[in-house]
């Protein structure tokens, strides 16, 4: 390292969604959503099943291209450059290798030099409490362990933004609690959290602000306390009361 001060790369936040829509075969799944995602608060995208939460998240992360509108990061990612956002899916997808090797793979793709990969991977495993399972085949781990591994993998990449798509939907309460604890730790370390859930309790526990999605539209946006105590929109009220029909 030289004597020059390290220039931190420009932040990719805020993320701006401008009139973003996504339709498939004429069916509109995300309908003209506009908002800005700022650094800092933990953002929860809440809504009933079929509201378009997962699709919206994939649009933000770049896995899908909007059929109209724009997804603009403050500092656009160029192909070939290390990614500064990561995503954890509802079902973790692991390669047929050891837990450690899965994280090492992610680091290799990210361009981390060979000598540093093992160390960083092990540290990430320790952070989620999986260090004893480092050499176990990742795909034989339990659902909860695999999800923690997915988090470790994402965290090892030191992303600025971490997207999480219903990360605990398939887990038992014990595993869910573990995952929530890890998410909090990642946030405490400085990563912006953007998460979808349809679990009200989880939204309350983990969120700072709520983006409420209903039938593809952004129905309401508010700080978490205000949202749950005084929801402004009729749909939000119905949802909280559990009356919203399945779409």
List residues near another protein by CB under 8 A.
58, 61-63, 79, 82-83, 86-87, 89, 93, 95-97, 105-106, 109-110, 137-140, 157
- Closest separation in Å from C-beta 33 to another protein: 20
Start-to-end CA distance of the chain, whole Å, equals 55
Q: Facing residues of 162 across strands? A: 86, 193
User: Is 176 in contact with 166 (CB distance < 8 Å)?
Assistant: no
Q: How far is CA 127 from CA 14, 75, 167, in A?
A: 28, 29, 18
Kindly tell me which of 87 and 193 has the beta carbon lying closer to another protein: 87
Q: Is residue 126 within a helix (H) or strand (E), and if so which, with residue range?
A: helix 114-127
Q: Dihedral of the CA atoms 236, 37, 186, 102 (nearest 10)? A: 100
What are the CA-CA distances from residue 65 to residues 71, 117, 207 (Å)?
9, 32, 27
Cβ 112 to another protein shortest distance, Å: 12
CB 55 within 8 A of CB 38: no
Nearest approach, Cβ of residue 241 and another protein (Å): 34
Q: How far is the CB of 117 from another protein (least distance, A)?
A: 14
Consecutive H or E run containing 43:
strand 43-46
**Smallest gap, in angstroms, from Cβ of residue 93 to another protein?**
4
> CA 94, 44, 35 angle in degrees (round to 5)?
110
Minimum CB distance to another protein smaller for 19 or for 81: 81
> Could you tell me if 61 and 89 are in contact, meaning their C-beta atoms sit under 8 angstroms apart?
no
Closer CB to another protein, 64 or 213, in the complex: 64
Write down the least CB distance from residue 120 to another protein, Å: 15
Radius of gyration of the chain (CA): 19
Q: Which residue, 63 or 223, has its beta carbon nearer to another protein?
A: 63
CB of 224 to another protein, least distance (A): 27
Question: Cβ closer to another protein: 106 or 219?
Answer: 106
User: Quick one: 157 or 213, whose CB is closer to another protein?
Assistant: 157
Nearer to another protein, 102 or 168 (CB): 102
């Amino acid at each position: 390292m030289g004597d020059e001060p390290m220039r931190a790369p420009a932040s990719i936040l805020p993320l701006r969604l401008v009139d973003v829509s996504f339709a498939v075969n004429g069916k509109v799944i995300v309908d003209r959503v506009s908002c800005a995602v700022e650094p800092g608060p933990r953002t929860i995208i809440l809504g009933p099943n079929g509201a378009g939460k997962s699709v919206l998240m994939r649009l933000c992360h770049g896995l899908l291209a909007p059929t109209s509108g724009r997804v603009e990061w403050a500092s656009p990612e160029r192909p070939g450059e290390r990614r500064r956002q990561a995503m954890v899916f509802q079902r973790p997808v692991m390669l047929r290798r050891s837990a450690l090797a899965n994280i090492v793979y992610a680091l290799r793709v990210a361009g981390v030099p060979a000598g540093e990969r093992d160390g960083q991977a092990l540290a990430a495993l320790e952070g989620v409490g999986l260090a004893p399972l480092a050499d176990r085949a990742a795909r034989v781990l339990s659902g909860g362990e695999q999800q923690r591994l997915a988090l470790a993998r994402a965290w090892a990449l030191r992303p600025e933004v971490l997207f999480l798509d219903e990360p605990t939907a398939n887990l038992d309460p014990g595993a869910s609690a573990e995952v929530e604890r890890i998410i909090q730790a990642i946030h405490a370390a400085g990563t912006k959290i953007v998460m979808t859930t349809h679990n009200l309790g989880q939204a309350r526990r983990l969120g700072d602000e709520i983006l409420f999605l209903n039938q593809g539209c952004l129905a309401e946006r508010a700080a978490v306390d205000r949202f749950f105590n005084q929801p402004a929109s009729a749909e939000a009220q119905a949802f909280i009361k559990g009356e919203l029909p399945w779409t």
